[in-house]
Amino acid sequence: MDRRSLIKNAGIAGVLAAGIAPAVHAQATIRWRLASSFPKPLDTIYGGAEVFAKKVSEMTGGKFQISVHAAGELMPAFGVVDGVGQGSVEMCHTVPYYYFGKNEAFAIGAAIPFGMNSRQMSAWMYEGNGRKLMNEFYAKYNLVSFPGGNTGTQMGGWFRKEIKTVADLKGLKFRIGGFAGKVVERLGVVPQNLPGGEIYQALEKGTLDAAEWVGPYDDQKLGFNKVAPFYYYPGWWEGGPEVDFFINNKALEALPAEYKAIVESAASHAHIDMQAKYDARNPTALKQLVGAKTKILPFPKPVLDASFKAAMDLYGELAEKNPDWKKIYGDYRAFQKDQILWFRFAESRFDTYMQGVTL
């Protein structure tokens, strides 16, 4: 009787008794290191890597172990992509737009100003051309990406002074993540790209006038409400920012097929888990911030309009000079237009109604 027939007729118990274990159990133990761009106290976003590593271990019976290292332990927060590309570590957990300085197209893999929300982003990545196009681009850097979470639409950040007009933005030293800085600087803002663990002190000392991070749950943990009283919304530069796992292409190829499938499955699990946690925890944190006298304000429409125009002007310029941007952004924007068409009928109308009633 051949192996396939034995498995079919004897079942798993019989197979194990016969000493013929499934392939995943026959593998030697593999150990990888994962470098995160985030500090440990942020259990939602840093924790996404721990959720992934735990699931990989569970699905391989402990045969595939991935140790997770916070920002600064193995390398700087914004050095993790280089570390993976060069093979210093097998993988990392980060936000692609941090690396727009290498090529602006990195930003499309995470979030661009006035881009897609989290559901639309996942639709593009899983069912559209998103993952295919991004991985074709990342291959130039020896990287393969998998989804690693999404925060949902973020807040617009903490400000030491009120923003009433576009003129109030001029000269503002604003910590804003990655690529979005290229848009706000067109409005007179002085963008700063600091890791999460350095933002509080900069705000406290006045070396920053404003800072954005994620949303109520994480922002409260970092204590921003103690040093900046005005909390603005929405974070128009992060309508649905995807966090990614980047894996060194040679390290991934060296895995057996079963483990590659497990990595893909565990990444999808971590991706869903992260936003579920944010959506569950942000309401309580927001209410607590309001109770602590935080002033929550919407960005004035003229500020949003000026920001939108600045973003569209930038995208047009990039399409003329960056072929990677032109190729990926064209597909991204076409997909987004269809998503907006659909969302305006069902999702938007339903949400708008529900926000106006008392439960």
> What tens digit of pLDDT does each residue of 187-233 get?
999 999 888 889 999 999 999 999 999 999 999 999 999 999 999 99
Summarize the confidence of residues 73-96 as an average pLDDT. 98
Instruction: Name the nearest CA neighbour of 50 among 292, 287, 230, 270.
Output: 270
What are the structure tokens assigned to 25, written together? 């159990």
Q: Is the pLDDT of residue 19 over 80?
A: no
Residue-wise pLDDT for 176-198, tens only, equals: 977 999 999 999 999 998 888 89
Structural domains of the chain ordered from first start:
3-150+240-280 (3.40.190.170)
Residue-wise pLDDT for 301-358, tens only, equals: 999 999 999 999 999 999 999 999 999 999 999 999 999 999 999 999 999 999 999 9
CA-based max dimension of the chain: 80
Q: Is the pLDDT of residue 10 over 70?
A: no
Q: Tell me the whole-structure pTM to 2 decimals.
A: 0.90
Residue 8 pLDDT: 42
Residue 27 pLDDT: 63
Residue-wise pLDDT for 298-315, tens only, equals: 999 999 999 999 999 999
Q: Could you report how far apart the first and last alpha carbons of the chain are, in Å?
A: 65
Residue 12 pLDDT: 36
Q: Where are the alpha helices (DSSP H) in 166-300?
A: 181-184, 199-205, 216-222, 249-253, 257-291
Residue 236 pLDDT: 98
